Amino acid sequence: MKRTIGMMVLALTLAGCGGAENASQWDPGKPHFSWDRVPVSAHLGLDDGLTPEQYTFLADHFDFITFTGGRMSREYRTNKEISFERIITTAARTIKARNPKARILFYWSGDFGRDHAKLSNATLPKGTTFPYEKGSKTVQLFDTRNPALRSWWAGVAAKAVKEYSCDGIYLDGGTAYSPGSSYERNLGKAKSTEMEQGMFAMLNEAKTKMGKDSIILLNPLHGPKKGQAQEDALGWRYLDYVDGAMVDDFDRAANVIKKRQSTEYIAATIKTMSVAAKRGEIVVFKAWPGFTWWSDPELMKKPHAEQLAVAKKNLEFPLACFLVGAGEHSYFCYTWGWLGEYGTFDWYPEFDKPLGPPKGDAVQTGWVFKREFKHASVVVDLEKRFGKITWNK
């Protein structure tokens, strides 16, 4: 276990700058980080592989990248010579040849096998899963209580590092058995608790097999709901077993009024990122441009240039929210979906402006947050859903 929380009291103060200039550093167990510009991260599907130009773009713009399966062709599904494992190996090696600082994560589900990882799933030991009704389909849940399952799963994570040229895993579904989850309601509290304990053991085993400088990035980490303590927020109890987490839902689908997050929840999300960063976690802040690939079907029918225009118009608020809470090894990810076509290969002038380290913590007055950086001043009014970044250089 990485550390013990116990009954620690969490002060919801915003992440500090660590004092000195400290503009650039690289801990072998973490992605490269610098305050020189907005620290960014990419998360996208590989499909059947990317173009040389796309690999070059990723290498030139990102030091921290997560690859998922993406939209797989029929040939991918039927051709044994084509697999996510082989494609991500090519991707990782291609990007690292151009950018040796790049850290790349292998998407690896903790609750059930996703279709794209067919090479890994083909080696799954028999008798280590059980059927589960998830929505309209039946999936085979990994039985994390089973030592054989845990050994196999951790072994795939190790292959990601030692054979596929990745630097760790992006753990999706890792919080499946959290108290109050749909799994707990359906499986029963006793069984779900056993599954969660198995998940913790599996993560410890994976870290051992991958090596101390590997990365396990959890998805998701959410802000606490109204009346909920920080340590009870989704994902928080898992931070002892991983190296960081993605805050995946910041103001997601804000254009759908009924799904718009409350002012209180947005503030809690910012503070969660901040407190996590202060305790040394890697944090990916997944921001959305007011729409997603599923929340605005009419916009998705329009040319990519029109989608990008909306994303540009809506960037400042989520970016300002990120900056008032960001700490060392916090990264901004801004797209409207998980495929490359949903904004990964677009760039924004704000990402090229000098930022510099923060001069201190953010100051909160009511719903207004203010924070100063060496080359920028940031103001966020959560009640008005307004963010302003004044670039000083």
- Tell me: the pLDDT tens digits for 81-92? 899 999 999 999
State how far the Cα of 107 lies from the Cα of 88, in Å rounded to an integer.
Answer: 10
Mean pLDDT of 361-382: 97
Q: Is the pLDDT score of 7 beyond 70?
A: no
Mean pLDDT of 258-265: 88
Distance of CA 255 to the CA centre of its chain: 22
The pLDDT value given to residue 2: 58
Q: Which carries the bigger pLDDT value, residue 2 or residue 118?
A: 118
Q: Which amino acid is at 142?
A: F
The pLDDT value given to residue 26: 62
The pLDDT value given to residue 35: 98
pLDDT band at 285 (very low <50, low <70, confident <90, very high): very high
Domains annotated on the chain, with CATH = 38-363 (3.20.20.70)
Q: Is the pLDDT score of 17 beyond 80?
A: no
State how far the Cα of 71 lies from the Cα of 26, in Å rounded to an integer.
Answer: 33
Residue 141 has what DSSP assignment? E
The pLDDT value given to residue 23: 41
Residue of 172, 118, 127, 160 whose CA lies nearest to 145: 127
State how far the Cα of 38 lies from the Cα of 332, in Å rounded to an integer.
Answer: 7
Please name the helix (run of DSSP H) or strand (run of DSSP E) that holds residue 159, with its range, or none: helix 147-162
pLDDT band at 5 (very low <50, low <70, confident <90, very high): very low
pLDDT band at 102 (very low <50, low <70, confident <90, very high): very high
In angstroms, what is the C-alpha Rg of the chain?
Answer: 20
State how far the Cα of 232 lies from the Cα of 224, in Å rounded to an integer.
Answer: 7
Q: Are 114 and 69 spatial neighbours (Cβ–Cβ below 8 Å)? A: yes
Mean pLDDT of 341-359: 98
The pLDDT value given to residue 209: 98
Asked if the peptide bond before residue 147 counts as cis, ω within 30 degrees of 0, the response is: no
State how far the Cα of 299 lies from the Cα of 270, in Å rounded to an integer.
Answer: 28
State how far the Cα of 247 lies from the Cα of 80, in Å rounded to an integer.
Answer: 35
Residues of the chain with pLDDT > 70, as a percent, come to: 93
The pLDDT value given to residue 10: 31
The pLDDT value given to residue 28: 78
Assigned token pair, 355: 């930022």
pLDDT in tens, 112-136: 999 899 999 999 999 999 999 998 8
Residue of 64, 96, 58 whose CA lies nearest to 285: 64
State how far the Cα of 27 lies from the Cα of 262, in Å rounded to an integer.
Answer: 36
Residues of the chain with pLDDT > 90, as a percent, come to: 86
The pLDDT value given to residue 25: 53
Average pLDDT over the chain, rounded to an integer: 92
Is 34 strand, coil or helix? strand
Q: Is the pLDDT score of 57 beyond 70?
A: yes
